[in-house]
Structure formats: C-alpha cells, structure tokens
C-alpha cells in the first residue's frame, strides 16, 4: 500500500522477483498499476504470493477513489501475512499525505472484523534526506 508513484511495484519486483509493471519516469508520474495485481514470487520458499495495489491517492480513479482505497487496503490486510506500507519521508506526520485517514479506517475495521487474525505491518520510509544542523 502507498501513494501513487512511490515505487510500490519496483519494491515488490526487487523483493520477490516478480514482474509487475513499473512506472517510467521519462513518461511522467502517472498511474501505472490499476486495481489489484497478483504474482508468484520467484525462487522463494515457501510458496509466496505478492499483491500489488494501485496508489492510495490515485487521481485517475476520481470520486470512487476513497472507496476503492479502503476496500483494497482491507482486502490486503484480510488475506496477507505481511502488508508493506510505502511512505514518503516528507509525508510522515501530515494528516492526509501519509494516508492517516485511510489507515485509521482500515485498522478500525480490522479490529472489528478480524480480531483473531494477525497481520504484520512493515512500514517502508523512502527518500529520507540527510538533515544538517
């Protein structure tokens, strides 16, 4: 899970040797992954499935976006053993940029629907820059 054009597909391809379509920055930052894509990890035991979801702030989805974001996030949390949440460093602490409302809604639903299910959340913080004082 994570914002559009934040490198989710690239990260999954590197970690699991999958072949999800990746954005070409020369074509501009646009939506690459539409909907939910599933691939088998290559050379990984035990059998591993990777799920790539579209960006959580997809402008292309329009008014339907928030509903799809919640549904896809809940789907991922319901079936996955590990959910990777990809975040930009500069978005941490920002109300909407870090998808806080989406995460809050999904976590509340998880508490009510899947009390006995344990899912590991792995937060990947990307593009941290060195701060000089």
Number of domains in the chain: 1
Instruction: Confirm whether 38 is domain-assigned.
Output: yes
pTM: 0.72
Instruction: Confirm whether 132 is domain-assigned.
Output: no
Instruction: Confirm whether 42 is domain-assigned.
Output: yes
Whole domain around residue 49: which residue ranges? 8-126
Return the structure tokens found at 21. 């379509």
Instruction: Confirm whether 40 is domain-assigned.
Output: yes
Instruction: Confirm whether 133 is domain-assigned.
Output: no
51: nearest Cα among 42, 40, 61: 40
Tens digit of each residue's pLDDT (9 = 90 or more) over 52-107: 888 776 565 555 556 777 788 788 878 888 888 888 888 777 766 666 777 777 77
């Amino acid at each position: 899970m994570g914002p559009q054009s934040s490198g989710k597909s690239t990260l999954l391809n590197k970690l699991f040797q999958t072949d999800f379509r990746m954005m070409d920055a020369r074509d501009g930052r646009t939506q690459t992954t539409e909907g939910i894509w599933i691939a088998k990890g290559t050379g990984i035991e035990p059998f591993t499935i990777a799920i790539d979801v579209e960006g959580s702030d997809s402008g292309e989805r329009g008014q339907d976006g928030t509903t799809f974001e919640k549904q896809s996030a809940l789907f991922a949390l319901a079936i996955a053993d590990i959910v990777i949440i990809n975040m930009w460093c500069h978005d941490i602490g920002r109300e909407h940029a870090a998808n806080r409302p989406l995460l809050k809604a999904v976590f509340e639903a998880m508490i009510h629907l899947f009390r006995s299910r344990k899912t590991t959340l792995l937060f990947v913080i990307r593009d941290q820059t060195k701060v000089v004082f």
